[in-house]
Structure 1
């Protein structure tokens, strides 16, 4: 069940990231992140209101704020990279952030078995190979640098979500979204702009925001019921979904080494899961 939840989170993340990347080619990444986070916050706030008598108010606040700030940084850099670089390459680079929660998880007590380590190694190698030519410097380095910063942000966010979810997954994600909304409200007031977003674009932004939030929920449930190091690796396989969508919808062409990397990522997931 833990593996299925983590894999489901990667599928949802990969899909929402793809469409967020497309949207970021029309609107500034900061606007896309701000609106998706704000709309998702409204949805999860309704859920929280129905559970007020059953939620704890301790153990998650600091973790949720830390997750919100690190995740916010990751999303800004990631969406910007997706809008300017090759999606099929930017996504795998960002997924290398899985090393952060894996290392922190082991440092705080996780004890993956031998075959799990094999699966983790294969999956990480696969993600690295899928990064392909961008890592060789054959194209503009800016998307690569942004994806690298996103990787660290995502990795820290995953670890913080796991720690907060051990008390309450729902409240950790609510606090995470609340933190993002506060930051973007201040930015919007200072800039006196909402990023040019118009009413007809809100439904699409709502779906993207809820997709990202659903992936966080699935990951929080998986990591809080198992080892964060394992859940993080499985959850980080979202680039495979983004790569496939970019290939089908945008007709992006991947080199042989990138296709090998995608396959190895799936093999690593299978080893970890079974």
Structure 2
């Protein structure tokens, strides 16, 4: 098995070994992964953080040893907390990194970082609403994980990641984590609300706020009303999503 680390700001992870293929997620700076196979100019990877698989361009990462991969995984996780920060490369060049980027690989990459970071030793549920608000108005982008483009489950995953909890990548996967609540009245700020389609499949997720509001990525990261039926959009005067279940995480 071979291993790699993302040494760039953001790298698209695609469904197939093709530049035109769907972007299913993204690697952020410092993310490490296993290399499953290599196909010409493309590498099939499994991301260590959430076990998600996809294809990346062979030119957009650095190969590392198994011992280095394991060492980074075992280090206490800490990540950048500002909207945009910079690391200094070996060539004394500035590399921009997005909020939530992993800083555990700095020593391995021989980069320097003097910005703000968070190093949670436990799940900081009380910080979720505050961190989620940093993403307000970020445009929706399928597969995105940054304030410059993010999808619903990428949004919840990144907010929870910054607060010290590992969520899986897709909404349907996240819905299998946590503890289901019987009533919406039991929910607390920071819980996750999941929504389904007419076939009963989980297709959307958002973060519960106080006073029956929810923050979620739908067109953009926005705040809407939440009730027993689902998400009510005050602008369109319609329900945009049907509530399936609310999950608590601790």
TM-score by length of 1: 0.21
Answer 1 or 2: which has greater helix percent.
Answer: 1
User: More relative contact order in 1 or in 2 (CA 8 Å, sep 6+)?
Assistant: 1
TM-score scaled to structure 2, two decimals?
Answer: 0.22
More strand by share: 2
